[in-house]
Amino acid sequence: MSSVLYDAPGPKAKVRNWIYTAVFAVLVGLALWWILDRMAEKNQLDADKWLPFVTDSQIWTTFLLPGLVETLKAGLIAMVIALPLGALLGIGRLSDHAWVRVPVSTVVEFFRAIPVLMLMIFSSALYVLLGTVSSDLRPLYAVVTGLVLYNASVIAEIVRAGILSLPRGQTDAAKAIGMRKGQMMVYVLVPQAVTAMLPALVSQLVVILKDTALGGAVLGFADLMSMNRQISANYSNTIATMVVIALIYIAVNFALTGLASFLERRLRQSKKGTGAVVEGDVAEVDAGGAAGVGKAP
Amino acid sequence: MFDFLTSGQYDVLGAFWVTVQLTLYSAAGSLIWGLMLAGMRVSPVPLMRSFGTAYVNIVRNTPLTLLILGCSLGLDQTLGITLAGGDSKEIGFRLAILGLVAYTGTFVCEALRSGINTVPVGQAEAARALGLSFFQVLTLIVLPQAFRAVIAPLTNVLIALTKNTTVAATIGVAEAALLMKEMLENEADALFAVFGVFALGFVLLTLPTGLLLGQVAKRVAVKR
Of B73, B119, B203, the CB nearest to A110: B203
Q: Which whole-number Å values give the CA distances from A149 to A83, A107, A220, B8, B22, in the listed order?
A: 11, 10, 20, 32, 25
Which residues of chain A does B48 touch, with a Cβ-Cβ cutoff of 8 Å? 20-21, 24
The values of phi and psi at residue B133, to 5°, are -80, 170
With 0-12 / 13-18 / 19 or more C-beta atoms within 10 angstroms meaning exposed / middle / buried, residue A32 is: exposed
Mean pLDDT of A5-12: 81
Which residues of chain A does B79 touch, with a Cβ-Cβ cutoff of 8 Å? 38-39, 42, 44, 239
CB contact under 8 A, B63 and A249: yes
Which residues of chain B does A225 touch, with a Cβ-Cβ cutoff of 8 Å? 63, 65-66, 69
d(CA A273, CA A195): 9
Q: Is residue A201 part of a domain?
A: yes
Window 101-160 of B: residues touching A by CB (8 A cutoff) are 103, 107, 110, 116-117, 119-121, 123-124, 128, 134, 137-138, 142, 153, 155-157, 159-160
Of A118, A232, A287, the CB nearest to B64: A287
d(CA A210, CA B106): 15
**Tell me: the pLDDT tens digits for A169-205?**
999 999 999 999 889 988 998 888 888 888 888 889 9
User: Higher model confidence: residue A269 or residue B181?
Assistant: B181
Among A28-32, A39-43, B178-182, the least confident range? A39-43
Mean pLDDT of B175-187: 90
**What is the tally of structural domains in chain A?**
1
Please report the pLDDT score of residue B189 as a whole number: 83
Q: Is residue A122 part of a domain?
A: yes
- The alpha-carbon radius of gyration of chain A (Å, integer) is 24
Q: Which whole-number Å values give the CA distances from A125 to A113, A117, A146, B173, in the listed order?
A: 20, 12, 12, 20
CB contact under 8 A, B202 and A20: no
- pTM of the model as a whole: 0.90
Comparing CA positions, the residue from B205, B206, B35 lying closest to residue B104 is: B35
Domains of chain B, CATH where assigned: 9-220 (1.10.3720.10)
Given CB atoms, is A220 within the 8 Å cutoff of chain B? no
CB contact under 8 A, A214 and B157: no
**Tell me: the pLDDT tens digits for A129-149?**
898 888 889 999 999 999 999
ipTM comes to 0.90
With 0-12 / 13-18 / 19 or more C-beta atoms within 10 angstroms meaning exposed / middle / buried, residue B131 is: exposed
Of A214, A245, A285, the CB nearest to B160: A285
Q: Is residue A255 part of a domain?
A: no
Which residues of chain B does A217 touch, with a Cβ-Cβ cutoff of 8 Å? 65, 69, 170
Residue of A nearest to B64 (CA): A287
Instruction: Collect all residues with Cβ–Cβ distance below 8 Å to A262 and sequence separation of at least 6.
Output: none
Please report the pLDDT score of residue A280 as a whole number: 58
Window 227-266 of A: residues touching B by CB (8 A cutoff) are 228, 232, 238-239, 242, 245-246, 249-250, 253-254, 257
CB contact under 8 A, A249 and B61: yes
- At residue A41 the predicted structure's pLDDT band, cuts being 50, 70 and 90, is confident
Given CB atoms, is A126 within the 8 Å cutoff of chain B? yes
CB contact under 8 A, B45 and A21: yes
Which residues of chain B does A39 touch, with a Cβ-Cβ cutoff of 8 Å? 79
Q: Is residue A230 part of a domain?
A: no
CATH of residue A87: 1.10.3720.10
- At residue A272 the predicted structure's pLDDT band, cuts being 50, 70 and 90, is low
Of B117, B167, B210, the CB nearest to A288: B167
d(CA A172, CA A67): 50
d(CA A35, CA B193): 47
Mean pLDDT of B151-155: 91
CB contact under 8 A, A17 and B44: yes
**Tell me: the pLDDT tens digits for A201-238?**
888 999 999 999 999 999 989 999 999 988 988 888 88
User: Higher model confidence: residue B145 or residue B86?
Assistant: B145
Q: Is residue A186 part of a domain?
A: yes
**Tell me: the pLDDT tens digits for A86-120?**
999 999 999 889 999 999 999 999 999 999 999 99
Mean pLDDT of B141-169: 92
d(CA A163, CA B97): 38
Please report the pLDDT score of residue A293 as a whole number: 35
Window 129-158 of A: residues touching B by CB (8 A cutoff) are 129
- Count CA atoms within 13 Å of residue B42 on its CB side: 27
Mean pLDDT of B149-175: 93
* Average pLDDT along chain A: 86
**Pair B26, B165: CB distance under 8 Å:** yes
Q: Is residue A113 part of a domain?
A: yes
d(CA A107, CA A120): 17
Q: Is residue A135 part of a domain?
A: yes
Please report the pLDDT score of residue B1 as a whole number: 67
Of A38, A114, A232, the CB nearest to B199: A114
Comparing CA positions, the residue from B76, B68, B77 lying closest to residue B173 is: B68
Q: Is residue A139 part of a domain?
A: yes
Please report the pLDDT score of residue A291 as a whole number: 35
Of B123, B128, B177, the CB nearest to A115: B177
CB contact under 8 A, A121 and B181: yes
CB contact under 8 A, A254 and B61: yes
Please report the pLDDT score of residue A64 as a whole number: 92
CB contact under 8 A, A246 and B62: yes
**Residue A89: which domain range?**
69-222
Given CB atoms, is A19 within the 8 Å cutoff of chain B? no
